Chain A
Amino acid sequence: MVIKKSQRDFDKIGRQSTLEMVNTTLTIQDILPYGSTKSNHKKVDMDAVLPFIILPLLLVLSTTSKLVTIIVMIFIGMGALYVQSRPRQKNRSPFFYSWTLSSGIYMFLIFELGILRLLEITQLENFVFLLLLTSTCYFFYKMKAVADFELATGTSKGKEYSPVLTSDSYYCQICQIEVNERFFHSIWWDCCVLRPNYIYFVAGQVFAFATLLYGTNLGLTTVCQPFILYGTILMPEDCNDVYYEFDLALCFVSCIYGLGYLLITALVLLRQVLIYIPKYSEPQWRKIINVLTV
């Protein structure tokens, strides 16, 4: 009996270890976000791929001349405005999230492969840039992850949850969850910004702002003639000769595109500051004042 039992235990352990071994071997399918097994029966969404084709085409097109650059940038800006102002229907197209991703990836690649090749960025500057970029990615990743988690199990309930909405909340058609008034659905990140991930959203925007500001400054001072603003801070001065060469023009145009993004992040942050912070910090202020008056 005793021997049998130990034998059985031994078998168990053996089976467990083999199971573990199977589990711990990594395959390519596990590493790729969309495994080949998935894409076999589910065709890759065209909407998600399009930005990765359209954006480089637009950027290459705008390298032809100053006028074309201006037209293309205005065109992109108008498109973004139109999309933003459209009534928010039940639209879960991954196109916009893909657009954000492709913008980030292309700008990163052009910085690291195009601008760095001119050998005018020092190691320290490159390191600071990468650090800022990593932080940005981390915060936005966290924002997405928290939103996904909330969607699956969080406190914000799904459709079956109370049909009666409180005064300061509305129902997000896209995420199919109830969101507070303060929070919203972002098509550019393809997720809802809720109370749990709001802080990640703001932090991501702040770091995105810093990364874009730093990156475009480095890029523009590299491709253009810079001047010393103060101390070691340089600013671009004369960008007239960038269109003579294709790679310089591409770097320049991407920097201009980055400046557009910088403007948008600035507006988003400004909105957060103007609308939300006074409203929600008011009670705290009152607390402090109460403490002082007592």
Chain B
Amino acid sequence: MRHYVFKKKVLYCGIFVITLIILLHPDRNARGTYEFIAKKNILNNLLQETALNFSSTAISDCDYYKVIYDDTTLPISIIEEDLVEGHRIKEGGEYAPFDCRPKFSTAIVVPYREKAEQLRGFLVYMHMFLRRQHIHYRIYVVEQVDSRPFNRAKLMNIGAVAAMQAGYPCLVLHDVDLLPLKPANLYACTKLPRHMSSSINKFRFVLPYLNLFGGAISIASKQFKEVNGMSNVYFGWKGEDDDLYSRLETHNLKLTRFEPATSRYYMSSHQKQEIEKKRNNLFYHTKESMVTDGLNSLKYIEVATVLHPLFTHIMVDL
């Protein structure tokens, strides 16, 4: 009888432990922390390059040490404010610091459709944010004007091509609903592609899964060309960033991140359900499609390109 009770206990314990292992499996749980570039190594890891036809009249170089060790958090209320007077942002949303010579040139590519109020808030916020970082940058907003489902990746490709033609060595592919909270999150490229938005408020400031490469990312133009950009076939919001990740993976480009506290972002819309759906989409990525689908197969009708005071507006019909 005692034997019997013992066996029963063992069985229950076994079931309990197995359930525990299943529930605590890393794939079912998000990550609070991950590998990142330590603050002191950030400056060494940055890709120092300015745009081809950019020149600065300033004498001294800009100092980025202070930017990286800046501990402030910007308030979200900036999006409701107006830009400061005399912001000296050039037509097309280009800005460079005047009192020093910037070391980095970045093109910020934002795919966009229909949410005008959100875009306004984003632009005001981003200009206020980026001014603090002493970099040379330009914001490209790529708008899809047709009525097909939103194709984020293709819009990114279009913006990237425009930015590369303008000679920008570094691309930041950015969603319009994400706002960086920490000025220490430098909008410049690291030697490897960087996932910038790894700590979003809507995701409880955790990283949903390790290979996530969406939201806001920075990648050198050369690397973006090397991986043939992003896929053009993802209509509707799904899986295009996982596709980009697998492209990087086949080209042996690892992703890097900054520490969670620096990578904090604020998300302001209803797109949080994408994450779990995306993971089921991995079967799309094949090596063959990477060669034929991407920057080299990019076809679209450019409706207009307008230089607004705060951004370059590219309107396209996909």
Contact = CB atoms under 8 A, between A and B. Distances in A.
Interface of A: 20, 23-24, 26, 30-31, 112, 116-127, 130, 221-222, 225-228, 234, 241, 244-245, 248
B270 A244 contact: yes
B11 interface: yes
A262 to B, nearest CB: 20
Given A112-B23, A116-B23, A119-B276, 7 more contacts: A26-B4, A30-B8, A120-B204, A120-B208, A122-B31, A234-B205, A248-B273
A27 to B, nearest CB: 11
B204 A226 contact: yes
Nearest to B203: A120
A188 B313 CA distance: 64
A126 B23 contact: yes
Given A23-B3, A24-B3, A123 B11 contact: no
A227 B268 CA distance: 13
A168 to B, nearest CB: 38
Nearest to A112: B23
A116 B276 CA distance: 10
A53 B273 CA distance: 28
A136 to B, nearest CB: 14
Given A126-B24, A227-B201, A234-B205, A120 B270 contact: no
A23 B1 contact: yes
B236 interface: no
Nearest to A129: B23
A124 B205 contact: no
B276 A118 contact: yes
Interface in B1-27: 1, 3-4, 7-8, 11, 20, 23-24, 26
Contacts of A228: 205
A121 B30 contact: yes
B115 interface: no
Contacts of B4: 23-24, 26
A160 to B, nearest CB: 30
Contacts of B31: 122-123
15 contacts: A23-B4, A116-B23, A118-B208, A119-B30, A119-B203, A119-B275, A120-B206, A121-B29, A122-B206, A123-B24, A123-B32, A125-B32, A130-B24, A228-B205, A244-B270
A222 B1 contact: no
A35 to B, nearest CB: 13
Nearest to A119: B208
A31 B208 CA distance: 38
Contacts of B7: 24, 26
A114 to B, nearest CB: 10
Contacts of A126: 23-24, 28-29
B209 to A, nearest CB: 6
Given A23-B3, A24-B3, A234 B11 contact: no
A122 B32 contact: yes
SS of A interface (majority): helix
Contacts of B1: 23
B202 interface: yes
Contacts of A112: 23
A123 B204 contact: no
Contacts of B203: 119-120
Nearest to B276: A117
Nearest to B16: A134
A228 B76 CA distance: 14
B276 A225 contact: no
A244 B3 CA distance: 54
Given A119-B208, A226-B204, A127 B24 contact: yes
A225 B204 contact: no
Residue from the set B28, B31, B204, B276 with the largest chain A CB neighbour count within 10 Å: B204
B300 to A, nearest CB: 31
B8 A26 contact: yes
A234 B204 contact: yes
Nearest to A127: B24
A120 B1 CA distance: 46
A138 to B, nearest CB: 11
Nearest to B268: A225
Residue from the set A120, A123, A124, A127 with the largest chain B CB neighbour count within 10 Å: A120
A227 B208 CA distance: 18
A226 B202 CA distance: 6
A123 B29 contact: yes
Given A24-B7, A26-B11, A126-B23, A118 B201 contact: no
Interface string B268-301: 0010110110000000000000000000000000
A120 B203 CA distance: 5
Nearest to A134: B16
B276 A221 contact: no
B8 A116 contact: no
A33 to B, nearest CB: 12
Residue from the set A30, A31, A118 with the largest chain B CB neighbour count within 10 Å: A118
A244 to B, nearest CB: 7
Interface in B162-215: 201-206, 208-209
Contacts of A234: 204-205
Contact of A118 (B8, B24, B270, B275): B275
B212 to A, nearest CB: 9
A225 B202 contact: yes
A213 to B, nearest CB: 16
A119 B3 contact: no
A120 B30 contact: yes
A130 B30 contact: no
